[in-house]
């Protein structure tokens, strides 16, 4: 049976891929100059609870444009590249076998987009890691207990309260092997991933670190 949604996405990609998601240069979905920018270095941050977090690029300019094009505008042709960017952040944390635990989507966002962009990226990340010999499995064991909705309109303390106890472990949690790494597309304050870590560790699951495609530069030298 033809998957009409998938077909429509592929057709949309053909139309949309006429310019670079990062800089709008014509001819490609992501130009070599933007790719070079996104893979220039890996950012390391210590989150408020001391968790080590890594990201492939800043959530600024090109980094923001590419993440938003994929997440909000459905540029699915970017998925393999975003998978490689997240894989760079993972390998910086460890070269050991990993279980990647994605931050679950908000119900509203999932309904609006009809897809979970992060889940697609993480699938591409496991492929990218396998291709360089690092064993990786996607383990979506977290679920949202209550949906805090869009956090970007809230202040730092309001965000912290909104995400408190927002995650639960899926009742059908498979065994997690190797080092457990929480993955997200963008780290902003880190409050969401810190809460995810707290949820996992309360269930006796040790978290090795957090990896993301991009990280927001924080004011006040908290990076």
User: What are the residues binding Zn ion (CB under 5 A)?
Assistant: 20, 22-23, 25, 31, 34
Q: In the block, which residue shows the tokens 């679950």? A: 104
For helices 61-71 and 79-93, give the axis angle rounded to 10 degrees: 120
The helix/strand/coil state of 221 is coil
At 39, which helix (H) or strand (E)?
A: none
Give me the least distance between CB of 69 and Zn ion, in Å please. Answer: 11
Give me the least distance between CB of 62 and Zn ion, in Å please. Answer: 7
Give me the least distance between CB of 30 and Zn ion, in Å please. Answer: 6
Do 214 and 40 contact (CB within 8 A), yes or no? no
Do 2 and 11 contact (CB within 8 A), yes or no? no
For helices 191-202 and 156-163, give the axis angle rounded to 10 degrees: 30
Q: Which is nearer to Zn ion, 62 or 191 (CB)?
A: 62
Give me the least distance between CB of 90 and Zn ion, in Å please. Answer: 24
Give me the least distance between CB of 23 and Zn ion, in Å please. Answer: 3
Q: Which is nearer to Zn ion, 15 or 111 (CB)?
A: 15
Q: Which is nearer to Zn ion, 62 or 103 (CB)?
A: 62
Distance CA 34, CA 21 (A): 9
Q: Which is nearer to Zn ion, 37 or 127 (CB)?
A: 37
DSSP conformation class of 94:
-
Q: Which is nearer to Zn ion, 23 or 119 (CB)?
A: 23
């Amino acid at each position: 049976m033809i998957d009409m949604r998938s077909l429509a996405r592929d057709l949309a990609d053909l139309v949309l891929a006429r310019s670079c998601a990062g800089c709008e240069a014509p001819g490609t979905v992501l130009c070599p100059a933007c790719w070079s920018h996104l893979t220039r270095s890996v950012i390391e941050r210590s989150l408020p609870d001391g968790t080590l977090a890594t990201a492939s690029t800043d959530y600024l300019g090109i980094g923001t444009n590419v993440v938003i094009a994929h997440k909000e505008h459905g540029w699915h042709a970017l998925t393999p590249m975003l998978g490689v960017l997240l894989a760079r952040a993972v390998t910086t944390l460890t070269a050991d076998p990993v279980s990647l635990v994605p931050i679950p989507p908000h119900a509203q966002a999932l309904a609006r987009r009809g897809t979970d962009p992060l889940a697609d990226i993480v699938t591409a990340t496991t492929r990218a890691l396998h291709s360089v010999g690092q064993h990786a499995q996607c383990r979506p064991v977290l679920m949202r207990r209550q949906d805090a909705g869009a956090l970007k309109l809230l202040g730092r303390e309001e965000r912290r309260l909104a995400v408190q106890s927002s995650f639960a472990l899926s009742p059908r949690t498979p065994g997690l092997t190797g080092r457990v790494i929480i993955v997200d597309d963008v780290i902003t304050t880190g409050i969401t991933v810190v809460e995810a870590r707290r949820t996992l560790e309360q269930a006796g699951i040790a978290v090795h670190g957090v990896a993301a495609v991009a990280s927001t530069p924080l004011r006040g030298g908290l990076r």
